[in-house]
Structure 1
Amino acid sequence: MSTSTTIAIVVGSLRKESWNRQFAQALAKLLPPEVATTWVRIDDLPLYNQDDDAQPAPQVTRLRQEIKAASGVLLVTPEYNRSIPGPLKNAIDHASRPWGQSVWNGKPAAVCGVAGGPIGTALAQQHLRNVLSAQSAPTLPTPEMFIQWKEGLVVDGEIGPASREFMQKFVDAMLTWFQRQA
């Protein structure tokens, strides 16, 4: 992996103690030391309005620059009402506009997430894959990660021992995917 590799991490939950934020932070610790991360902020974005395309808010410009500069994007999403949260969709919409200037076009992506139920965020991830596909963002096909939040998944800020090998396979596959798409 190149020392110039940067992974942009977008967490779809805004909640301070979000399971998905904790999970994303623990996953990031599985990255090799030469891989940098950018934590993409989405909680300060205005609601997308096409009227603003000509003069986007500074937060929107920042979002677009962070995604554009990254080697790939890891999106970690909770599942709200069997789909992705509104703030995550809003961020995707901002980064896809104005029409014809989407920073998602050709940007490799990987998706995962955790939830309290046994199928994790399976439906949200499928919706997210559909949205990214519409943006021509090549998305890691496997391994898929439908993870139930349980005690021991994240221990002291790191992936717990029972899950570490599986999570490392995901991280390694993601990095390989991002390299192949470069």
Structure 2
Amino acid sequence: MSQFHIAVIVGSLRKDSFNRQLATALARLAPADFHLTQLRLDDLPLYNQDDDGQQAAPVLRLKSEIQAAQGLLFVTPEYNRSIPGVLKNAIDHASRPYGQNAWAGKPAGVLGVSVGAIGTALAQQHLRNILAYLDAPTLGAPEAFIQAKEGLFDADGQVGQASRAFLQGWMDRYVAWVKKHA
């Protein structure tokens, strides 16, 4: 396979979120044969099992984008020691109806950034548990619990010098993970 399409799921709707900035900056660290695309979550209705028989157009679009990808990249904030509701909503939609799980078999990477000292460690653990159930093989190490502080991003929105080597190493491991499972 000469081109890898990666579905990037940012667990925040905030326009200027640190996690959206991180997802954008990470795309610049990916090799030329990896194309990272942030998926839209803001138009998904709240998940309701009654709608499984006739999923809304935004849900079908999301599932189609996931199915077309060779890998998944989750970049999530931590809200109240867990994943944001918008992320859980997207996960539930794309895993339903039963037997039509779009996440299954897709190699995943998980990371996130927060102003807190432990970054998004607990949200990532919850997300890893969910992805294990959904049969999405998830990169275990290196873990990336990133604290948002001065210098994380440079003036151009790229990863700052102090974090570049670590995040490039993370991206290199993620790329190898996706290729292993492709």
TM-score (norm 2): 0.97
- Stretches of structure 2 that go unaligned for 5 or more consecutive residues are none
- Structure 1 residue 107: deviation in Å? 1.0
User: Partners of 1:178 and 1:33 in 2: how far apart?
Assistant: 14
Post-superposition CA distance 1:83-131 (Å, at most 9, x none): 0000000000001001011011111111000000111000000000001
Note the alpha carbon deviations across 1:135-165, whole angstroms, 9 max, x for none: 0110001000011001110112100011101
For 2:28 and 2:73, the matched residues in 1 are separated by 14
Say if 2:128 and 2:138, in contact at 8 Å, map to a contact too: yes
Q: Which residue of 1 aligns with 2:80?
A: 81
Task: Write the distance in 2 (CA, Å) between the matches of 1:179 and 1:15.
Answer: 31
Distance 1:69 1:106 in 2: 12
Partner of 1:159: 159
**Quick one: percent identity of the two aligned structures?**
62
Amino acid at match of 1:10: I
Cα distance between partner residues in 2 of 1:150 and 1:37? 25
Aligned length: 181
- Which 4+ stretches in 1 moved above 2 angstroms? none
Q: Is the Cα contact below 8 Å between 1:38 and 1:66 reproduced in 2?
A: no
Query: Partners of 1:48 and 1:19 in 2: how far apart?
Result: 26
Moved more, 146-155 or 33-42: 33-42
Q: What displacement does 1:4 show?
A: 2.1
How far apart are 1:3 and its partner, in Å? Answer: 2.9
Q: Which runs of 5+ in 1 are unaligned?
A: none
